[in-house]
Amino acid sequence: MNPAPRTVVSPPRQVVRAVLTEALESKMGGEVVVKSATVSGRIFVVEHKVAWTVLTGPGARSFSTALIDAKLVSREDVEQVMAECRKSGGNFCETLVSWGLVPRDTLRDLLCHHVRAQLDTLFGLTEAQALFVPQPRSYSSQLTFELAELTADTMQPQPAVTQSQSPSGPPVLLEGEVMANVKQALEEAMKIEGAFAVCLADANSGMTLGSVGGNATFNVEAAAAGNTEVMRAKLKTMKALGIKDRIEDMLITLGEQYHIIRPLAAREGLFLYIALHRANSNLAMARFRMADVEKTIQL
């Protein structure tokens, strides 16, 4: 008697894990860029270890938010540390330790849990695209992790934290609220006279974190991705010239359009990108309004 046929369910292909494994084997290091219909992410690899992760999507939180939620630092502390890192080029976590804000062991444990949670989300994506971008990268911190540390079953679960009021600032935004905030800011930017497309993009990966407007002849996401090279080139030139200053905005003037690139002062690597019809826009007012829009974005 033949046994009854069984339905075999194949496990989802571990695309992100496979690409990350490739990246960890690379001598050069670099970053793994992940994109799906709901979640985008980047995994930074240095010297065969995971150094940092950035995740955008439902349920994701930034590490600074995790620190504030755990009541280890205040929002004001985070802003001061970020300002110092932008000025000196230092590492965010190492600066927290050197300033005596968070003990190294405590910080490492929280960072390990944070990165692990983000990797769990990325590994669970069944229809994601992942790409390893080899890139020589210096990293001024020893707070990096073997993949085994981030996937070990022996890690103790992190106690849940609830949304809390920062002692020196407004309530911490969770990811859903962050995305709503970004959308609201972009919609406000679209009210600028002459605007027909705007987005918030990541200069390192070229990914768009939110967009409004555009049409069949102008893909704002593609335009933003292409202009990441403009951002990188300008930053590289400033470094070569020894210019220690920040870019307020960059203007590209076309025959019929203005394109304005405005990096976010509060979040290195992110920038606002807006396209305007030149015939019916006021450039000075547009730049002024973009500065106001930037201030409303909370990440």
Residue spans of the domains in the chain: they are 15-151, 175-296
Work out the pLDDT band at 225, boundaries 50, 70, 90.
confident
pLDDT (tens digit, 9 = 90+) per residue, 150-176?
A: 985 434 444 443 333 333 333 334 345
Which of 9-23, 47-61, 66-80, 134-148 is predicted least confidently?
9-23
pLDDT (tens digit, 9 = 90+) per residue, 26-84?
A: 888 888 888 888 788 889 999 999 998 988 776 677 888 888 888 888 888 888 888 88
pLDDT at 143 over 70: yes
Work out the pLDDT band at 230, boundaries 50, 70, 90.
confident
pLDDT at 246 over 90: no
CA dihedral 116, 59, 44, 104 (to 10 degrees): -50
Which of 12-26, 105-119, 142-156 is predicted least confidently?
142-156
Spatial CA neighbour of 145 closest among 99, 97, 95, 110: 110
Q: What are phi and psi of 261, to 5 degrees?
A: -110, 125
pLDDT at 146 over 90: yes
Mean pLDDT in residue range 97-116: 91
> 């069949």: which residue's tokens?
216
- Residues near 48 by beta carbon (within 8 Å), at least 6 away in sequence: 24, 25, 26, 29
CATH superfamily of 175-296: Dynein light chain 2a, cytoplasmic (3.30.450.30)
pLDDT at 136: 75
Work out the pLDDT band at 277, boundaries 50, 70, 90.
very high
pLDDT at 13: 54
pLDDT at 278 over 90: yes
- Sheet hosting strand 257-263, strand order edge to edge: 208-213, 195-202, 270-277, 257-263, 250-253
What sign does the CA torsion over 262, 263, 269, 271 have?
negative
Which of 9-13, 183-187, 217-221, 262-266 is predicted least confidently?
9-13
Amino acid at 84: E
pLDDT at 10: 38
pLDDT at 182: 83
**Regarding beta strands 195-202 and 40-46, do their DSSP bridges make them parallel or antiparallel, or are they unpaired?**
unpaired
Mean pLDDT of the chain: 81
Mean pLDDT in residue range 241-269: 89
Burial class (CB in 10 A: 0-12, 13-18, 19+), 231: buried
Exposure of 9 in the CB half-sphere (CA atoms within 13 A): 2
pTM score, whole prediction: 0.52
- What is the percent of the chain with per-residue pLDDT over 70, rounded to a whole number? 84
pLDDT at 7 over 50: no
pLDDT at 61: 75
Mean pLDDT in residue range 143-153: 83
pLDDT at 283: 92
- Residues near 2 by beta carbon (within 8 Å), at least 6 away in sequence: none
pLDDT at 104 over 70: yes
Burial class (CB in 10 A: 0-12, 13-18, 19+), 137: middle
| Spacing of C-alpha 115 from chain mean position | 13
Tokens of 272: 């606002």
Mean pLDDT in residue range 213-242: 84
User: What are the start-end ranges of the H helices in the chain?
Assistant: 15-25, 63-69, 75-88, 92-98, 104-123, 147-151, 175-189, 220-240, 283-296
Q: Please spell the DSSP secondary structure of 251-297, one letter per residue.
A: EEE-SSEEEEEEE-TTSTTEEEEEEEEGGG--HHHHHHHHHHHHHH-
